[in-house]
Amino acid sequence: MSRSRQGRKKMDPRAVWPQPVPREEREEVLGYLEARFGIPSSTFEGYELLRTAKNYWLFVRTPHLADLQRLRIQTAGLLFLRKVSEYLKPTSAALQRFGHLATRNVVELDRLTLDRLRLERKIPWEGKVEPGYVILTCEGRIWGCGLHLPGKLISYLP
């Protein structure tokens, strides 16, 4: 993406609106969040789930979606999940917005461990969560997404 003389980003001419997700796919995606993190699917009843090639977006439900889709835009709504290989990785922004509802796979780190993880990006770690994506918290605040693999914790913090 190039910048104009005023420093603003120019609109990518290929930018298109994400497409609404079919009901079955919506249930599968939201079911993943419920199974992995315990976030109820009903949390997202007021939102449209939209999709691009590798991303899912949340957009507040509106009867005007078809009209809005005629606009040229760079992004629409909250970047919610990314497809990474065959897995769904929640974005830090989505976890900061909805992660407080999670009942599973939440990793509470002390300040020193969080700082080390942010600096080193991967640390040795053992915890009582399932391998896979986890919600990283410290002092009760959600920081974003991490990946727990046996014996280690990997940071996906921005």
The DSSP code for 32 is: H
Q: Where are the domains of the chain?
A: 19-101, 106-155
- The CATH fold of domain 106-155: 2.30.130
In CATH terms, are 19-101 and 106-155 the same topology? no
pTM: 0.85
The DSSP code for 42 is: G
| Strand pairing class (19-20; 47-51) | antiparallel
- 12 — pLDDT class (breaks 50, 70, 90): low
CATH 3.10.450.720 applies to domain 19-101: yes
- The stretch 53-77 carries a mean pLDDT of 77
| Residue 72 in this model has a pLDDT that exceeds 80 | no
